[in-house]
């Protein structure tokens, strides 16, 4: 159930039976030749809404403008500073908490959000921060379908989800695999620790970072979405029933 499609009276009634809400967090940035600019926002929102259907939860509007400075040399990317993003998250938490929400579950889809999310809300009582790929069953699926070609950015998994929910862009030159990344490189860049924008575009000219986006299919996207939604719903319900949020 989407918060923005409810009336305030419906939210009031919801709060009589639940104090939980899922807040999707994405990005607005290039995702290679096959990936939509809104890929992360769409993935977070789609998984959140499907999980919320299972868990009878509310879903807040997606936080789609987030830090992605390294992709600013690609047109279409909109990046805000980590400080601004952290301030936004803090105010969302404060506002919802004041209204009676006690279990705020951030569902993230963008590596560069993790550090500022933790800075802003990691210690707040009643806040959980997860990414949709945090769950074993989701990772088993990513490995099974794509192995090392999952890569770091414009991954076939995230593109498969947006193919299932939005549209499929033909691969063109991206039918060819990208340059393969070393394990060291992948470890160093976890959480989107990429360099300055011009350097990043020079090193990864079509925007893919070790990810063979063309392996994505809408069928895999539907499977990925359903698997992630089940995992998130279970985790969200466990979080909400986890007793005193002050110690969560
Ligand atoms: Ni992404």
Structural domain of 177: 3-234
Q: How far is the CA of 48 from the centre of ligand 1 (A)?
A: 16
Query: For the chain, first and last CA: distance in Å?
Result: 25
Q: Based on the structure, what is the number of domains in the chain? A: 1
Is 27 part of any domain? yes
Question: Domain holding 203: CATH number?
Answer: 3.40.50.10310
Q: How far is the CA of 155 from the centre of ligand 1 (A)?
A: 7
Q: How far is the CA of 110 from the centre of ligand 1 (A)?
A: 5
Is 246 part of any domain? no
Mean pLDDT (10-residue bins), the chain, 248 residues: 98 98 98 98 98 98 97 98 97 97 98 96 93 97 96 96 98 94 84 88 94 98 98 98 55
Do residues 59 and 50 make contact, with C-beta atoms less than 8 angstroms apart? Answer: no
User: What protein residues have CB closer than 5 angstroms to ion ligand 1?
Assistant: 40, 158
| pLDDT of the residue at 243 | 58
Is 141 part of any domain? yes
**pTM, full prediction:** 0.95
Is 9 part of any domain? yes
Which two three-digit tokens encode residue 220?
């895999």
Task: Tell me which residue has tokens 């063309």.
Answer: 214
Is 248 part of any domain? no
Question: C-alpha angle 220/222/226, rounded to 5°?
Answer: 115
Which two three-digit tokens encode residue 47?
């998984």
């Amino acid at each position: 159930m989407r918060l923005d499609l409810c009336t305030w009276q419906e939210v009031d009634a919801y709060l009589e039976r639940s104090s939980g809400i899922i807040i999707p967090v994405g990005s607005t940035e290039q995702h290679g030749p096959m990936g939509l600019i809104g890929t992360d926002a769409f993935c977070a929102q789609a998984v959140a809404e499907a999980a919320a259907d299972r868990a009878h939860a509310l879903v807040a509007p997606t936080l789609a403008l987030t830090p992605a400075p390294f992709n600013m040399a690609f047109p279409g990317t909109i990046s805000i500073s980590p400080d601004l993003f952290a301030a936004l998250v803090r105010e969302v938490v404060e506002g919802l908490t004041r209204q009676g929400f006690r279990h705020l579950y951030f569902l993230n889809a963008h590596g560069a959000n993790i550090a500022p999310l933790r800075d802003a809300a990691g210690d707040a009582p009643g806040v959980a921060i997860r990414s949709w790929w945090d769950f074993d069953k989701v990772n088993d699926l990513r490995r099974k379908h794509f192995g090392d070609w999952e890569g770091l950015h414009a991954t076939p998994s995230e593109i498969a989800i947006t193919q299932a929910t939005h549209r499929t862009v033909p691969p063109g030159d991206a039918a060819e695999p990208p340059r393969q990344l070393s394990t060291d490189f992948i470890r160093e860049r976890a959480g989107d620790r990429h360099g300055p924008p011009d350097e990043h575009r020079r090193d990864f000219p079509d925007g893919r970072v070790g990810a063979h986006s063309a392996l994505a299919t809408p069928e895999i996207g539907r499977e990925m979405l359903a698997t992630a939604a089940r995992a998130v719903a279970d985790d969200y319900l466990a979080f909400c029933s986890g007793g005193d949020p002050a110690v969560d």
